[in-house]
Chain A
Amino acid sequence: LVAVRRAVLEYELGVNHTDTEELSAGEGHLQRRPQLLEPHRLSPDCVSLYIQAQNNLGILWSERDEIKTAQTYLESAEALYNQYMKEDGNPPLDPSEHFMAEEEKLTDQERSKRFEKAYTHTLYYLAQVYQHLEMIEKAAQYCHTTLKRQLEYCGYYPVEWALNAATLSQYYLSKQCFMESRHCLAAASVIFSQAGQVPSAEDNEAEQDQQDLRQRKAEIARCWIKYCLNLLQSARKLLEDNIGELDPDRQLELKAQRKKEEDEKEKGRKKAVLFGTSDISDSVLAMEEKVSSVYPLDFQEAREIFLVGQNYVQEAKEFFQVDGYVTDHIEIVQDHSALFKVLAFFEEDYERRCKMHKRRIDMLEPIYADLNPHYYLLISRQLQFELADTYYEMMDLKVAIGNRLEELDSHTIKKINSLAQLAIKYYELFLDSLRNPDKVFPEQLEEDVLRPAMVAKFHIARLYGKLITSDSKKQLENMQTSLEYYTFLVDYCEKYPDAVRAVETELELSKEMVGLLPTRMERLRAKLCPFI
């Protein structure tokens, strides 16, 4: 007993020293303790103290940048906890109790709470250790477990917990684990709703809290948007053929595969870490049912996910209004546009697909017009490029529609030409944004704009090739312009061979065109002036 009390004192001294950053003195005290306790570490008197001391040694070594050493301490604490729970499991004594009078001793419930908390801390420190060691998957797993335990032992603030869970969902998104991601988000939404409404009061502080709460809600909505978007985009990746269209064979194949998996799933239930005690998990489950976590395989399924995403777009926009939150607002609009873009992939009817792209134009164009590129250069460029691409896509669709007709009518021709002109306009605006204040285009492009700039040049070249005109002279001019843009690509890559990697396909096609176009132009010229 005396030994245990001495160990407690050593522990307290050690913590005191490390808190004031006297690391080596603190280490001395913390190290002496295991020798005292080693034989009894599994006894209810000592186990909690032992774990807490290991935690502190973990912190101490991390402060010395010796993460590996910290890891061994923390992992041994984890192992000890597991062993104790297996062999004994009764609520152990809290270190502070060793110096308490008998009547002050804690209840079993309080003991267990403190013990569990110490272990939660172990897991939380381990999550960080793994993160520092770049064992990302393991770190995420420990974050997940920490969240789960916070929930079980009521050691959380609802809002904060919800944000953490929503953030964790984004980790799972980047790993394409949609089921886990959805679970985290559903739990985030459920727990957030528990945070309840702060009673509306007149004073300023409550106003501020309300504001914060609304912002958090909008943030979680944004995580949901990303969820829907990623699910749709990943499905698209699976389904598309080599020219980016929906591949019906692949679609059938995946549908059959899913059928098979569903049958198998009935047998073995999912085994991921799930949040919550029964009452919470029911709400989480209900929340989850509102959106699928499997890849959509046809328009109907895609549309359902799209609609969920679109609802969250509205919710997020309620808080992130353009006045005051320009960047956030535009990011949300960009996501909305991306949702339409990926939905259009699933649409078979070209006219309707075109209309979806028109919706994108309608939401992006007015924002772009208002935006001051002096302060929002990057976003401004993103919008220019996206607008250009959207017009480009619409033009391609109109051409495809036109090709089905017997003969191109003048209306369709006008439409195609005007879409092409608009695409050119935005690509040029993007390229102009790369110029310096004296309007000079850079000799060498910076790495982060290299590919987009080259793609813009390449697309402009193609667009000039697509413009339809009955005037041969005009046609010759367009071919000439087109040739100039193709030549730019070829010359640039010759001068800076590093650039080739970024635009291999485009370069190959450009070279081909640079070879072909002059002959075609020659032929056209000959037709124009047959007597020369």
Chain B
Amino acid sequence: ALPLLNSPSIEGDAIKVYVRVRPPSEGTVLTDGDQGLCLSVLSSNTIRLHSKPEPKIFTFDYVANMETTQESVFSSVAKTIVESCMNGYNGTIFAYGQTGSGKTFTMMGPSDSDNFTHSLRGVIPRSFEYLFFLIEREKEKAGSGKSFLCKCSFIEIYNEQIFDLLDSASAGLFLREHIKKGVFVDGAVEQVLSSAAEAYQVLTMGWRNRQSSRSHAVFTITVESMEKNNEIVNIRSSLLNLVDLAGSERQKDTHTEGLRLKEAGNINRSLSCLGQVITALVDVGNGKQRHICYRDSKLTFLLRDSLGGNAKTCIIANVHPGSRCFGETLSTLNFAQRAKLIKNKAVVNEDTQGNVS
């Protein structure tokens, strides 16, 4: 029987989750045949994983099969996010999945090619084009009354440390918050952009500085619009975050659900992970007032706005269909399933004693 998991959700409510199945590298299909695949796409939003004894069926907002083109991924995933960014929402697109599942291909395009004109270019270059297309259109419509300012930054989070990819000389940077401007990376270079081509140049330059595929790369564009209407100046600003996450395999992510015990191992001086265990216990608490000393990861802190609230967020979960990847694919799909449930928890403290009389 098919489990009915999602009730019709309210627009903009939870996080949208897309799954993209990459084709196996050339040659493997011929040798492995159909038997070598661990999943099949049933429809544009369901996927079947050939697990034993019972196959598992997952439902997502959209499932892209092996034939899906880059263009079609962009229009079904990123287009609305770029549009809502123009309307003043913050937007975030994550690519999630194990190494080799096609995250970078999806976000950037094939390596070693001029992605900016290449027909296989990925979500990021296409988002640039679309964003600047929309800006130009707005400008034409509004005439001289409206102006735009785009800035971008590009950082890498590796081992819970932040590096600036636009300034390879920079040392570790820190996250700070500003009461008007939100979370920001203190000291990160912000480059002004005037066209998609320029954005692309910055992106490729930064990409070359990236240390490791085991790091998270976060490309952020700030779009500021200023509209003058009879002396009243209306300023709007929003963020677009494009994130290429580190490979999900064996990652010490705050949200992985592995049952692995934390090893105190040979570093005998301390049981440095004890805190994480206790924190997990406190988390189970019952909504009572409490404070947990250990902060979330840098990534979740930076993207806190994207996980609910004033933001449109989508996750592209990339999977490799080969049977050898079964384990990782299962955990990716499980993660994606959970991501659908991410929402802001109880928002408003409200107690009622004494006010109904």
Contacts and interface: CB of A to CB of B under 8 A. Distances in A.
Residue with the highest number of chain A CB atoms closer than 10 Å, among B271, B347, B357? B271
A243 B177 contact: no
Interface stretch (B50-58, B196-204, B285-293, B313-321): B285-293
B293 A124 contact: no
A378 interface: yes
Interface string B323-357: 00000000000000000000111111110111111
B99 interface: no
Interface string A132-143: 100010011001
Given A129-B261, A223-B291, A459-B355, A167 B350 contact: no
Given A70-B261, A132-B259, A444-B10, A455 B352 contact: yes
Interface in B226-250: 237-238
B5 interface: no
A229 B289 contact: yes
Contacts of B292: 167, 170
B4 interface: no
Interface in A204-248: 216, 219-220, 222-223, 225-226, 229-230, 233, 240, 243-245
A430 B349 CA distance: 12
A531 interface: no
B13 A170 contact: no
B347 A449 contact: yes
Given A62-B261, A505-B356, A378 B274 contact: no
A315 interface: no
A385 B258 CA distance: 39
A174 B268 contact: no
Contacts of B294: 163, 167
A448 B182 contact: no
A62 B291 contact: no
Contacts of B352: 455, 505
B269 interface: yes
B161 interface: no
- The size bracket of the interface on A is 35 or more
A375 B181 contact: yes
Given A131-B281, A325-B177, A222 B291 contact: yes
Contacts of A299: none
A225 B282 contact: no
A389 interface: yes
Given A327-B177, A371-B179, A376-B182, A244 B354 contact: yes
Nearest to A223: B291
B274 A442 contact: no
Interface in A366-401: 367, 370-378, 381-382, 385-386, 389, 392-393, 396
B282 A244 contact: no
Given A59-B263, A174-B286, A375-B181, A382 B274 contact: no
A63 interface: yes
A503 B10 CA distance: 21
A62 B259 contact: yes
Interface stretch (A101-109, A150-158, A276-284, A485-493): A150-158
Given A70-B261, A452-B348, A136 B281 contact: yes
A514 to B, nearest CB: 16
B235 to A, nearest CB: 11
Contacts of B261: 58-59, 62-63, 70, 125, 128-129
A324 interface: yes
Contacts of A41: none
B1 interface: no
B274 A124 contact: yes
Contacts of A367: 179
A323 interface: yes
B310 interface: yes
A343 interface: no
A375 B182 contact: yes
A147 interface: yes
A451 interface: yes
B290 A62 contact: no
B13 A446 contact: yes
Interface string B257-287: 0111111100011111011011111101110
A452 B179 contact: no
Interface residues of B, number: 65
A374 B355 contact: no
B237 to A, nearest CB: 7
Contacts of A385: 348-350
A167 B10 contact: no
Nearest to A143: B278
Contact of B270 (A156, A323, A326, A378): A156
Interface in A276-333: 322-327
B347 A448 contact: yes
Given A62-B261, A226-B289, A155 B180 contact: no
Given A127-B277, A375-B305, A171 B347 contact: no
Contacts of A268: none
Contact of A323 (B90, B178, B343, B355): B178
A121 interface: yes
A131 B263 CA distance: 15
A219 B356 contact: no
A506 B345 CA distance: 23
A109 B281 CA distance: 35
B66 to A, nearest CB: 30
B281 A370 contact: no
A224 B264 CA distance: 29
A374 B354 contact: no
B310 A375 contact: yes
A152 to B, nearest CB: 14
Contact of B344 (A156, A240, A376, A448): A448
Contacts of A449: 347-348
B159 interface: no
A218 to B, nearest CB: 10
A452 B291 contact: no
Contacts of B179: 322-323, 326, 367, 370-372, 376
Contact of B346 (A125, A143, A170, A448): A448
A63 B355 contact: no
B309 interface: yes
Contact of A455 (B347, B350, B357): B350
A4 interface: no
A505 B354 CA distance: 12
A381 B310 contact: no
Chain A CB count within 10 A is highest, among B12, B258, B262, B281, for B281
Given A139-B281, A219-B293, A452-B347, A374 B310 contact: yes
A189 interface: no
A323 B186 CA distance: 12
B232 to A, nearest CB: 16
Nearest to A327: B177
Contact of A164 (B259, B274, B310): B274
B89 interface: yes
A167 B282 contact: yes
15 contacts: A62-B259, A65-B259, A124-B264, A128-B261, A155-B271, A157-B269, A170-B292, A171-B281, A233-B289, A243-B357, A324-B177, A338-B289, A373-B310, A375-B182, A437-B87
Interface of B: 10, 12-13, 87-90, 176-183, 237-238, 258-264, 268-272, 274-275, 277-282, 284-286, 288-294, 305, 308-310, 343-350, 352-357
Given A173-B288, A174-B288, 16 more contacts: A62-B259, A128-B261, A143-B274, A143-B281, A156-B270, A163-B275, A166-B293, A171-B281, A230-B289, A243-B353, A370-B180, A372-B181, A375-B181, A385-B350, A455-B350, A505-B356
